[in-house]
Amino acid sequence: MSAIEIRGLRKSYRVYQKKEGLWASLTGLFHREYREVDAVRGIDLDVEQGEFVAFLGPNGAGKTTTLKLLSGVISPTVGQARVLGHVPWERENSYRRKFALVMGQKNQLWWDLPAQESFRLHQKIYRIDPTEFDRTRDELVDLLEVRHLLGQPVRELSLGERMKMELTAALLHSPDVLFLDEPTIGLDVIAQHNIQKFLKHYQQQRKITILLTSHYMKDVAALCKRVVIIAHGDIMYDGSLAGIVDRFSGHKELTLQFADDRMPSDLARYGEVLEIVEPKARLRVERGSIAEVLSAVLANHSVEDVSVEDPPLEEVIAEMFALTADQSRESRDANRQPAQSVTQSS
Amino acid sequence: MHPSYLGVFLTFARNSLIRDMTFRTNFIIEAISSVSWMIMNLGFYTLVYQFTPSIADWGKYEFFVFIATTMFINSLVQAFFMPNMQELSELVRTGGLDFALLKPIDTQFLVSLHRVNWSSLGNFFVALLLLAYSLPRIEGLQLSPWQYLLYPLYVFLGVWILYSVMIGLAATSIWLGRNQSLYDFWFYITNFSRYPMEIYDGPWGTPLQKFFTFVIPILVVINVPAQLMAKPLIDADWWLAGFAILATVFSLIASRWVFKLALRSYRSASS
């Protein structure tokens, strides 16, 4: 049985269309226009026990909404989901004991108290056995290297330190499923790296199931073998990270270094010129014709060094998001169905 | 396995105390200001009783017992529920309620009790002193053991009725997105409940009395325990004591229903 099973999950919100200006605000008191917005549009997904899956997508794609549905914070408009055999939005205690949600943008620790007091509270709420609690806490704070900060009020911690405390709090009850919503947001490179290292180690040891959303490709590349791309509430891709490039980018990047400063002037005939810093040039070449182009370049010019690379992942994904945005706009214009239409009520 | 509700509550109380002690000047100022406010109130009624021996059959010391009862109930509500109810609106607006919903424990319990405002208990001790001072001064008052037993019980019931009204009001912020009128409501409500119900008389008073006894039962909150202690209930009033128990049970059930209904439409806030 899969750890997470999602079938046709949809969540739409009714949003008040506020118009600009004072007069519009006043009339808005009596007569309001609402619009239905689909945050998640009927997704299907299976995640196996022990998988570490990344959720990628632009802002507003529906990633966080999906995590909130799976943790039972909100209920779906239609559709089904089961996590470890539980329906999340039924909010059974037996389910809530088995998972944790960490949100990089929000904190759940008591702001004015040292983190250890919040941990103690978690022990009571989750009813963790005292010796078990001490052992887990010690292990976590040692792995995250924050033991010396346990007695310091949370408001006096740096963002990175606070995130580590948030992670500790979330893992004290040894959840089987962990939802991470941008856990490294706003952190510097070193702190990001530390958290990645910790998550990787923890997941490998415990074999827990993790769903992660992040905007940092480095997080994803370091942690997840499987990537699910969600945009405008739909799943656009589900597969390996490397597969994204194969699937969505028809190009390769060719870097050439010419001998003796003999930079040819007609490089454009080989492909799109991205950058020239003599004696080097970087070209964008169609994937299908890379061999042909390469042999032509080598035959016609004196080349000292050459490299062929995939374009950077960020670029491919940005391209893909732009493409899906166009498609979704088209499909929205094509069928102005009730879900998107403006409804009125007073 | 059920969470230990008592253990969790004690941890809340402990953590709140640690927090209050961190900002101890703030704590002392809060305690002093709320105690001074009640003492000024007391001074005001002393002035009023210079001109009249009784208000609606309540003599000076009997009314002081009434005020002490008000203080007991208000201080308990303000210490245990008020800061939480006020925060609920904020939790809804910012999406902080998410975390409460994740915990394997009753959500209403969690949002109702996670902060304790210890400084508000200052008035509780002033009320004890006031009660001890006034009771012996009421002419012809014979106190029996059952009064000492029932009084705290009815104070407790009063606290639960006020809590129900407040959580009901606070839960509306889940629908409205924001409802900061809670403190105003609290002020209006306690304004009505802190006078003897006998003064609500006449063409305006009687409907008000009925409304705040049977629809929103806030008049029984202070009146029942205060009467029980200061002017032992005459036979005809026993129904009111019975009604107070019913009203408490009903209020708690109704407010829980409203809270659960409201939770179902919680939409969380942006990440």
Among A224, A246, A268, the domain-final residue is A246
Give B211-246 pLDDT, tens digit per residue: 888 888 888 899 899 988 888 766 557 788 889 999
pLDDT in tens, A85-142: 999 999 999 999 999 999 988 888 998 899 999 999 999 999 999 999 999 999 999 9
| Closest residue in A to B22 (Cα–Cα) | A112
Examine residue A181 and state whether it is found in any structural domain, yes or no: yes
Instruction: Report the pLDDT value the prediction gives residue A346, as an integer from 0 to 100.
Output: 34
B180 inside 8 A of chain A by CB: no
Tell whether B266 is within 8 A of chain A (Cβ): yes
Same domain for A94 and A182, yes or no, is: yes
Boundary of a domain, candidates A246, A273, A291: A246
Tell me if B15 and A124 make a contact (CB, 8 A cut-off): no
The answer as to whether A240 is a domain residue is yes
How many angstroms from the chain centroid is the CA of residue A13? 22
Write the residue in A74, A121, A153 that is nearest to B268 by C-beta.
A74
Note the pLDDT tens digit of each residue in A20-36: 788 877 877 777 778 88
How many C-beta neighbours within 10 Å does residue A303 have?
Answer: 17
The answer to whether residue B178 neighbours chain A at the CB level (below 8 Å) is: no
Chain A contact for B5 (CB, 8 A cutoff): no
Q: Are residues A8 and A91 in the same domain?
A: yes
pLDDT category at A336 given cuts 50, 70, 90 is very low
- Answer yes or no: is A336 within a domain: no
The C-alpha atoms of residue A180 and residue A197 are separated, in whole angstroms, by: 15
Report the chain A residue with the minimal C-alpha distance to residue B266. A74
Whole-number Å distance between alpha carbons of A103 and A88 = 18
Domain that holds residue A209: 4-98+175-246
pTM of the model: 0.83
Q: How many CB pairs (< 8 A) connect A and B? A: 80
CB contact under 8 A, A124 and B19: no
Closest C-alpha to A76, from A176, A177, A7, A15: A7
Q: Give CA–CA dist A140/A198, Å, rounded.
A: 9
Asked if A71's CB is within 8 angstroms of B18's CB, the reply is no
Chain B: residue nearest A92 by CA?
A: B104
Residue A162 has pLDDT above 90, yes or no: yes
Report the half-sphere exposure of A83 (CA within 13 A, side-chain side): 29
Give a yes or no: residue A327 inside a domain: no
> Are A205 and A282 contained in the same domain?
no
CATH number (domain holding residue A278):
3.30.70
Q: Are residues A199 and A267 in the same domain?
A: no
Tell the burial category of A199 from Cβ atoms under 10 Å away from its Cβ (0-12, 13-18, 19+): buried
Residue A237 located in a structural domain? yes
Question: Which of these, B208, B163, B213, lies nearest to B186 by C-alpha position?
Answer: B163
Q: What per-residue confidence (pLDDT) applies to A343?
A: 39
**Distance of residue A85 Cα from the nearest chain B Cα, in angstroms:** 17
CB contact, 8 Å: A125 with chain B?
A: yes
- From B4, B18, B94, residue closest to A117, measured CB to CB: B18
Do A191 and A294 lie in one domain? The reply is: no
Residue B263 confidence (pLDDT) above 80: yes
Residue of A nearest to B267 (CA): A74
Asked if B99's CB is within 8 angstroms of A127's CB, the reply is: no
In this model, does residue B179 exceed pLDDT 80? Answer: no
| Mean pLDDT rounded to a whole number for chain A | 86
- State the smallest CA–CA distance between residue B106 and chain A in angstroms: 9
Instruction: Reply yes or no on whether the pLDDT at A146 is more than 50.
Output: yes
Q: Are residues A18 and A73 in the same domain?
A: yes
The verdict on B24 touching A (C-beta cutoff 8 Å) is no
Residue-wise pLDDT for A171-223, tens only, equals 999 999 999 999 988 888 888 888 999 999 999 999 999 999 988 877 888 88
Are A239 and A263 within one domain?
no
- For residue A214, the chain B residues in CB contact (below 8 A) are none
Instruction: Report d(CA A136, CA A130) in Å as an integer.
Output: 10
**A216 lies in a domain?**
yes
Domain check: are A47 and A75 in the same one? yes
pLDDT of residue A56: 86
Q: Do A219 and A187 form a contact (C-beta atoms < 8 A)?
A: no
What is the overall mean pLDDT for chain B?
87
Nearest to A127 among B4, B15, B271 (CB): B4
Decide: helix, strand or coil at residue A41: strand
Whether A74 sits inside 8 A of B22 (CB atoms) is no
Query: What digits encode the pLDDT tens for the residues B77-100?
Result: 999 998 898 888 888 888 888 999
Q: Which among B10, B101, B114, B174 is the top mutation candidate for probing chain A, defined by the most A β-carbons within 10 Å of its own β-carbon? A: B101
For residue A98, give Cα distances in angstroms to A71, A83, A109.
10, 10, 19
Cα separation of B82 and B95, whole Å?
A: 20
Considering the domain boundaries, does residue A213 fall inside one?
yes
For A42-62, what is each residue's pLDDT tens digit?
Answer: 889 999 999 999 988 887 788
Q: Which of residues 203-222 of B touch A (CB under 8 A)?
A: none
- Residues of chain B contacting A40 with CB distance shorter than 8 Å: none
Stretch A316-343: mean pLDDT: 62
Report DSSP state, residue A269.
Answer: G
Same domain, A291 and A279: yes
* Domain count within chain A: 2
The CATH number for A89's domain is 3.40.50.300
In a domain, A200, yes or no: yes
Q: Do A68 and A185 lie in a common domain? A: yes
- DSSP annotation string for A155-212: GGS-HHHHHHHHHHHHHTT--SEEEEESTTTT--HHHHHHHHHHHHHHHHHH--EEEE
Same structural domain, A84 and A188: yes
Write the pLDDT tens digit of every residue in B90-134. Answer: 888 888 889 999 999 999 999 999 999 998 898 899 999 999 999
**Do both A254 and A284 map to the same domain?**
yes
- Of the residues A222, A246, A270, the one at which a domain ends: A246
